[in-house]
Amino acid sequence: MKLTKLLGITGLILMAIGQSTPASAERCTFGGGCFWCLEAVFEDLKGVSSVTSGYAGGHVENPTYEQVCGGQTGHAEVVQIEFDPKVISYATLMKIFYTIHDPTTPNQQGADRGPQYRSIVLYDNNEQKKAAEEAKHTYQKDYKNPIVTEIVPLRKFYAAETYHQGYYKANGSKNPYCSMVISPKVQKMHHLFGDLLKK
């Protein structure tokens, strides 16, 4: 298997600039609309060593982007985040997650519609499960409508095709979707959480 498939673009970039995942690293997996959006938001945060776009929460093994977009695999578009809890906590990542997407719209984020765009948290352990449930309750006050975010155990994560990795940074100036949908989310996160950004 090619190295790019194993690591994804983000991992290769980290290797190239001499960064590595710390020994204390943890991971978390979120879905909240198009994975290009979530990747662009979370990769700018201090303590985050990698963000990989992929698929999870479904029943089809090794799904393709086309299959997931068809809405029949059960998978959601998600990002898997490797982070150092000594630098940024899971609770902080959850706060950002609930700030940069609308968790009250079932199977939809903006114009993106379908079960693959649902709001979902896939936990690794009971500690994450408890924190996710507490966050869902805490941030309900920020929304008029009920939060519909699924909280389920992570069974399997499938990294998306290589061309999806690092999509915003590679295509931000060329793709209208990036400027119209992703850029506002990134700008919102930078405005609200500027003290958490990488230098």
Instruction: Classify residue 94 as exposed, middle or buried by CB count within 10 Å of its CB (0-12, 13-18, 19+).
Output: buried
DSSP 179: I
**25 vs 164: CA distance, rounded Å:** 24
In the DSSP assignment, the letter for residue 47 is T
Catalytic residue at 34?
yes
Residue 10, pLDDT score: 44
Q: What is the pLDDT of residue 1?
A: 39
Can you give the pTM of this predicted structure? 0.87
Using alpha carbons, select from 89, 85, 76, 91 the residue that is nearest to residue 38. Answer: 76
Q: Give residue 199's pLDDT.
A: 84
Give the pLDDT means over successive 10-residue stretches in the chain (199 positions). Answer: 42 43 84 97 97 98 96 96 97 96 96 96 97 97 97 98 95 89 95 95
Q: Which of 10, 114, 8 is nearest to 58 (CA)?
A: 114
Q: What are the tokens at 119?
A: 């709001």
pLDDT recorded at residue 16: 39
Q: Which residue has 């776009």 as its token pair?
A: 53
**Domain spans in the chain, listed from the N-terminal domain onward:** 24-196
Catalytic residue from among 34, 37, 69, 178: 34
CATH number of 24-196: 3.30.1060.10
Taking the alpha carbons of 94, 194, 164, 52 in that order, is the dihedral positive or negative? negative
